Amino acid sequence: MKHARRMGLALMMVIPALWSVHGADDAKGIPITEAEYRKLVKSTVDEITKTLAKTDAKSKQKARMAAIFLAAYAQHTTGGPGAAERATMRDAALKLAQTIAAGQIADAKKQASALLTLKADPNANTAPLSIMKVAKLKVDDLMHQFGPPARGGYGIEFRYKKLTGLGNKLPNETLDDEFLSSAYRVAMSFAILKNYKHEDDPDKFRKYVDDAYQATVDMIPEVRAQNGPRTAPLLYKLTIVCSRCHNDFR
């Protein structure tokens, strides 16, 4: 059943017209189905609720970032719910991120659970906004998520390194739900970074951001289809962009 669902999604994802996701922060976003959108919302709210139960600074930052990513999913994916519902979700999630940052945890818990039954506000502002600016993000806030769990990250850098080491022998089973959600996290990070102007060399930085975004967006349908041999070269391509940008900017 799970496999059939993935195959169904994979077939939908190969419709090329949907894949014209290029350029500026007005990028159309990653097409997903309504079911997948709801799943992302539910799993992110669960994560926020779970993380808010812990009181240390790392957990607070992780919960804040999860709320910001909920806003990014609402703004930077397409398909499923309409624009008003997405914009309402984005703004509520950004407000939640601020509440967490302000340390108002009891209020944050209430806001988080309300997200699951949020009704679309017909007057919501559906124009895209810079999540980077509104959420006062730094590049490191995004990159930190790719680091090891012991430091509050999701272990993405380590996992990608390990998997690219396997060359083309990337087992299909590796491309599980967790891998897919990490690919969304990476894609969203670069979608958000499209609004960032690096002070040393903004054009060069932006080119790396665009390349990393596109490489991740290209990889997602193969991950959904759990196709190891086709994911391997795309993952490799993505990690090359990671390294190039790090050589110049990290």
Contact 62, 152 (CB under 8 A): yes
Alpha-carbon gap, residue 205 to 219, rounded angstroms:
21
Q: Which is nearer to ligand HEC, 133 or 250 (CB)?
A: 250
Q: Which is nearer to ligand HEC, 107 or 249 (CB)?
A: 249
Task: Give the shortest CB-241-to-ligand HEC separation in angstroms.
Answer: 5
Q: Which is nearer to ligand HEC, 111 or 182 (CB)?
A: 182
Q: Which residues, at least 6 apart from 206, have a Cβ–Cβ distance to it below 8 Å? A: 194, 197, 198
Alpha-carbon gap, residue 54 to 66, rounded angstroms:
14
Contact 206, 162 (CB under 8 A): no
* Integer angstrom CA distances of residue 87 from 32, 119, 122: 16, 11, 10
The residues of the shown chain that bind ligand HEC, judged by CB under 6 A, are 139-140, 143-144, 146-147, 156-157, 160, 186, 205, 208-209, 212, 238, 241-242, 245-246, 249-250
Q: Which is nearer to ligand HEC, 95 or 159 (CB)?
A: 159
Alpha-carbon gap, residue 62 to 213, rounded angstroms:
22
Task: Give the shortest CB-230-to-ligand HEC separation in angstroms.
Answer: 18
Task: Give the shortest CB-245-to-ligand HEC separation in angstroms.
Answer: 3
Contact 179, 228 (CB under 8 A): no
Q: Which residues, at least 6 apart from 174, have a Cβ–Cβ distance to it below 8 Å? A: 163, 228
Q: Which is nearer to ligand HEC, 25 or 157 (CB)?
A: 157
Q: Which is nearer to ligand HEC, 95 or 237 (CB)?
A: 237
